[in-house]
Amino acid sequence: MINKILTRHIMCIRAYLHAIECIRQKDGLAYNGKRKTRKKLRGGESMDNYTGTNLRTLREFFGETQDELAESVNVSSVAISYYENDHRSPDIEMTKNLASHYWLTMDQLVSGDFSLLSASDGFPDMTVDLTKVARAIYPFADLKTDNESFRRGYAAAQRIIRSMNSEAPVMESLADHVIRQFETAMDETGAPEATANYLLALMMKRDFLANDQLKAKNKKLYSNVLINVNKEFVKKNCLNTETISNEEDETRKSEFLKQYGEVINEKVRELKKTPGWIEFAEYYQGLRYLTDMMDTNRNSREQNISIGLEIMINLWLAGNKYAVDFLEGPVV
């Protein structure tokens, strides 16, 4: 099956790229630019706080009503109205939930500048080809080599990718086979392609552990190979309307990182020092945040995903070829 979590993120990032373009065309402001004015708080101190204005702007940009937003974060529409009009400030937990709903960090929601977005900014219709999503997410590198371990690993990885274009189950043992083959190929060849593919195979394994939660729930959404993505689709399917993390997934994540966390960090550092591979290493770090595959005790799952979204946007703006393929490759 296709990685439905990352597919949703691709579509969400595309919406934010459209938002960035709207801001640029109107005023040339950078994403998350800071405002010059300051707002007095109850204690008399001053700090940037534009939660209410940003909340209204983002809600209207994505075409949500106050009732729809309220239902998503489990408060009343009256509370949303109070927040937007600065009659009441959301507490820290609610601010976190509101930011998470739009895949933002709390700082972005509180201090970011989204003032140039408006509900009239049309979201361009696009068609996403799900057969291209898996290859965009997992850009396995081929290598002209006689090394049998590399060839077997690459062939098995392509078999997994082909199976992701259907609802056919993928055996986790096959992902383990790919990991072992590329691990051996790293030792036997020392090729950076083997290292990069080893990291992608680990990403696949982690995705299989987390992706089952969304399989049945989103089966109808992903029943077609081609998906027409428009503003209504983004509102219904791409915003964070529910928590998909649970205790079982957190346990699996902890076990996975305990087994592979150190070696992943080591191999990413190694690729950053290898000529021609820094773009891949930066892209992979973005993927790690998007899939909450980071061992950061200070960040919640939602914060990691928000950071991952921002990394991918910045890499795309910088022309990182992997981020460009990730965001543009599946679009017909």
Confidence check: pLDDT of 322 > 90: yes
CATH level 3 topology of 30-111: 434 Repressor (Amino-terminal Domain) (1.10.260)
Give per-residue pLDDT as tens, 80-126.
999 999 899 899 989 988 988 887 778 888 887 777 777 666 666 77
Confidence check: pLDDT of 77 > 90: yes
Confidence check: pLDDT of 141 > 70: yes
Q: Which segment of 39-53, 264-278, 293-307 scores lowest on mean pLDDT?
A: 39-53
Q: What pLDDT does 112 receive? A: 78
Residue showing tokens 């000529």? 275
Residue 42 pLDDT class (50, 70, 90 cuts): very low
- The count of C-alpha atoms lying within 13 angstroms of the C-alpha of 19, restricted to the half-sphere facing its C-beta, is 25
**Whole-number average pLDDT of the chain:** 77
Average pLDDT over residues 64-77: 92
Average pLDDT over residues 182-203: 96
Q: What pLDDT does 251 receive? A: 79
Residue 290 near residue 9 (C-beta atoms within 8 A):
yes
Question: In 223-274, which ranges are E strands?
Answer: 226-229
Q: What pLDDT does 41 receive? A: 32
Q: What pLDDT does 328 receive? A: 79
Q: Name, in order, each residue with C-beta under 8 angstroms of 296's C-beta and a sequence gap of 6 or more.
A: 304
Per-domain residue ranges for the chain?
Answer: 4-9+123-328, 30-111
Q: What pLDDT does 192 receive? A: 97
Residue 148 pLDDT class (50, 70, 90 cuts): very high
Q: Rounded to whole angstroms, how far apart are CA atoms 162 and 54?
A: 42
Q: Is 124 exposed, middle or buried (0-12, 13-18, 19+ CB in 10 A)?
A: exposed
Q: What pLDDT does 239 receive? A: 74
Q: Is 206 exposed, middle or buried (0-12, 13-18, 19+ CB in 10 A)?
A: buried
Q: Which segment of 114-123, 145-154, 249-258, 299-308 scores lowest on mean pLDDT?
A: 114-123
Most confident among 25-34, 110-119, 122-131, 133-142 (mean pLDDT):
133-142
DSSP 318: T
